[in-house]
Amino acid sequence: MNKLLKTLPQDDKYYMPGEFEQHSGCWMVFPERTDNWRKNAQPAQTVYAKVANTINKYEPVTMITSQRTKTIATKLLDPTIKILVFENDDAWMRDIGPTFLKNKNGDVHGIDWIFNALGGLNGGLYYPWDNDDKIAAEVLSYLNIDRYRAPFVLEGGSIHVDGEGTLYTTEECLLNPNRNPDLSKEEIEKYLKQYLNLKKIIWLPYGIFNDETDGHVDNMLCVVKPGTVLLAWTADKNDPQYERSLAALNLLEQTTDAMGRKIEVIKLPIPTPMYTTDEDTSDITGKENSKARVKNTRLAGSYVNFYIANGAIILPIFNLPTDQQAIDIISKAFPHHKIEPIYAYEILLGGGNIHCITQQQL
């Protein structure tokens, strides 16, 4: 049986590797809630299955379902994908899954962060969230991996690391009073350093415009390798995203990472702005316990929200002219990875994208 550890990862010399390092697999949760996913969640289930089947070509995928969706998931998923039934509240494995850590011998531990559905009763995205808060512990228990229960609220989508002591995050999210209202910035930094074994936190001011996650960094920036990042970018000064990306660029150009390197920033233009239509929002039922979906809302589209699998980039695309430019820039940044573009508008409608629905296991 796995243990609940009472020590700190930093003292135990465990750290979080960059996502670009080798994984032993990937975890996902199957979507079903009809107050977030239109048309009885069927279009979302189809695209989640496509993401899972694609990742599974590169590393083994495990899919969590409820008892209710096990049969449909079994039909849609490649038979080599393992399906486990754990009750859940929504389908954002990046945010509810464990963060896997390793030490220099390759031993693995996991962090189980406190989860409050991205803001609890103060702007959170759904209610209740108690099943989702249990998922990380359930996964670690299933895998027999020892677990740290962190004493503060954090979602996996709000952090990126380079595996060499640097963490990237946003003030917009981590300092939002709906996450840890009793902690100062310095206290949050101290906890991040203790739990992820870091030397330097780089605080971007904002994430993507109108992102309901309160600016998760995984929609704004990702680490290509230590010292190099891709940054969501627009050159359109009239786009509200412009000031956000410019503020991030200015900060990144003026700082160094934990190893003292200047950071190379590769600009990755955002998709042409997308707005929800009547068809996107009208077929959502039972809206009391989750964020309302309103027509004409600017979606938080970004090409940065991809998953780095072993040897492949699983990239959201939107059937827009901007897709090809993103593929070209990402191919150049990851010359040894195959780019696997997936039409992912349906995941975007639910409030995130491919990175948000996946969690790598070491």
| Sites of contact with ligand KQY (CB under 6 A) | 36, 90, 92, 94-95, 118, 125, 157, 212-213, 216, 291, 350-352, 356
Alpha carbon of 301 to those of 6, 31, 172, 231, 272: distances in Å? 40, 19, 17, 13, 8
Nearest distance in Å: CB 2, ligand KQY? 26
User: What type of residue is 174?
Assistant: L
214, 207 Cβ separation under 8 angstroms: yes
Nearer to ligand KQY, 263 or 349 (CB): 349
Q: Using an 8 Å Cβ cutoff, are 225 and 263 in contact?
A: no
Tokens representing 165 are 């002591």
Q: Would you say 169 or 213 has its CB closer to ligand KQY?
A: 213
Query: How far is Cα 215 from Cα 212, in angstroms, rounded to an integer?
Result: 7
DSSP 133: H
Q: How far is the CB of 98 from ligand KQY (least distance, A)?
A: 15
CB of 350 to ligand KQY, least distance (A): 5
Q: Which two tokens stand for residue 145?
A: 């991996």
- Number of neighbouring beta carbons within 10 Å of residue 167: 24
**Cβ contacts of residue 182 below 8 Å, gap of 6+?**
none
Cβ 74 to ligand KQY, closest distance in Å?
25
Residues paired with residue 222 on neighbouring β-strands, in sequence order: 230
Indicate the Cα dihedral angle 91, 359, 195, 256, nearest 10°: -120
**Helices and strands (H, E) in the chain, number of each type:** 11, 17
In the complex, minimum distance from the CB of residue 133 to ligand KQY, in angstroms, rounded to a whole number: 14
DSSP H helical ranges for the chain: 9-12, 42-55, 70-76, 93-96, 130-143, 171-174, 185-196, 241-254, 278-281, 322-333, 345-349
Q: Cα–Cα distance between 112 and 153 in angstroms, integer?
A: 10
Residue closer to ligand KQY by CB (options 125, 136) is 125
Could you confirm whether 356 is annotated as catalytic?
Answer: yes
The whole-angstrom separation of Cα 126 and Cα 89 is 8
Kindly tell me which of 32 and 212 has the beta carbon lying closer to ligand KQY.
Answer: 212
**In the complex, what is the shortest distance from the CB of residue 4 to ligand KQY, in angstroms, rounded to a whole number?**
26
Rounded CA separation 3/11 (Å):
17
Closest residue by Cα to residue 211 from 123, 279, 288, 272: 123
**Closest CB to ligand KQY among residues 118, 196:** 118
From the list 26, 173, 222, 356, the catalytic residue is: 356
Q: How far is the CB of 64 from ligand KQY (least distance, A)?
A: 15
Toward ligand KQY, which CB reaches closer, 77 or 217? 217
Q: Which of 118, 103, 135, 126 is nearest to 11 (CA)?
A: 103
Cβ partners under 8 Å of residue 49, min gap 6: 73, 76, 77
* CB nearer to ligand KQY: pick between 96 and 202: 96
Query: What positions carry a catalytic annotation?
Result: 356
